[in-house]
Amino acid sequence: MDTTDPEIVFDAAGVCNHCRRYATTMAEDAVGGSQGRAALEATAARIRRAGAGKPYDCIIGLSGGVDSSYVAYLTRQLGLRPLAVHVDNGWNSEVAARNIENIVTRLGIDLVTKVLDWEEFRSLQVAFLRSSTPDCEVATDHAIAAVLYRMAIRHGIRYLVQGTNLATEQMMPRTWSYGHFDWRYIRAVAAAHGGRDLRTFPHYTVIELEVSFPHLHRLREVFPLNMIDYDKAEALSVIKRELDWQEYGAKHHESIYTRFYQTWLLPRKFGVDKRRPHLSCLVKAGQLSRGAALLEIARAPLDAGQLEIDRQFVIKKLGLSDAEFAAIEAAPIRSFWQYPSYEAERPFLWERVLGRAQRTIRQLSPTRPSCQSRQSGRCAND
């Protein structure tokens, strides 16, 4: 991590606030070893009991990425009967589609795919690009969570088993990615920048997040990767061997749009390289040396030829001209806090929601009622 995060703070020893928080969070909120395994087994037993007599006892999001694929494998190892849900926003790579097919076939899992209305979603993506904020994946992340919640309610499933994990998914600066839970913000961006009316777009309100989902529908989220000593390389080896899983490149590159956004627009316009927090987590987890991470950062995130192919493909698919995209790149940078939002309108309730988001991650009480599925980035879908 470096000062491309404007809120970073280094102590006298040169250690940043992200690393200090990582160490504290892992010590307090992650449970590994025999204690974690016992907690995981106890949680699985509760899920099996709650789902007795039903077709499914839990629901999982499946993107074809590493974490969600490994969680799918883990649920079956625990004797669970998950319903897998995939949100197709129109940007799946061929490798991701193959991975999903292999996973559900090998594990014998039923899969439901929610296909977003393309014209509606396309206009929302363009609106986020024109908003000039560095969080253009917010719309997809919000839709994924909304679909999981609604699908769980429809099928009478109480447990959402998520791939979000503390070992590899912390350190994302707020200024880089924020607003995933905020439907008011998403609607404001669409209204301000020519997006269509979001009539079919999957969403949830702050009241549903705080009251309806956890209390009325008794939805609970479980994060099994926080109850094991989660090792990314080991997980990769397992899913390759057991599920015929195929590499798709860097983190989140199973989506063509995400690959383009993270390798082209974020570095060029915003000076943001999301590999920094991703690699920093692996360093702090002891799964990668700092030297190796710095060498990786020094390399281009994607070769120049593929970058240009992705740029042309994305611009054409979104219905933009080269001049329109150039204007998007040149527009002054803005932030989440410059748009209407629940956070601005209902600060007290919003603080409760964010507090719930932090508490949800804690696995010492692994069945805590909650509906906040992600911190930042595309955790639920990866």
Q: How large is the angle between the packed helices 118-131 and 138-154, nearest 10 degrees?
A: 140
CA distance 307 to 319: 18
Q: What is the pLDDT of residue 178?
A: 87
Interval 101-156: pLDDT, tens: 999 999 999 999 999 999 999 999 999 999 999 988 999 999 999 999 999 999 99
8 A C-beta contact, residue 203 and residue 143: yes
Question: 């060029």: which residue's tokens?
Answer: 268
Does 379 score more than 80 pLDDT? no
Question: What share of the chain has pLDDT > 70, as a percent?
Answer: 89
Interval 88-101: pLDDT, tens: 999 998 888 999 99
Q: CA of 215: how far to CAs of 16, 37, 57, in Å?
A: 38, 28, 19
**What single-letter amino acid sits at 120?**
E
Structural domains of the chain ordered from first start: 31-249+335-360 (3.40.50.620)
Quick one: which H or E segment has residue 221? strand 220-222
Residue 379: both structure tokens together:
């955790």
Interval 299-325: pLDDT, tens: 998 889 999 999 999 999 999 999 999
CA distance 96 to 10: 38
Q: What pLDDT band is residue 357 in, cutting at 50, 70 and 90?
A: low
Q: What is the C-alpha radius of gyration for the chain, rounded to an integer number of angstroms?
A: 20
Residue 230: both structure tokens together:
């989660």
Residue 184: both structure tokens together:
């008011």
Mean predicted lDDT score pLDDT of the chain: 89
Task: Please measure the distance between the N-terminal and C-terminal CA atoms of the chain and give it in whole angstroms.
Answer: 22
8 A C-beta contact, residue 120 and residue 200: yes
Q: What is the pLDDT of residue 254?
A: 77
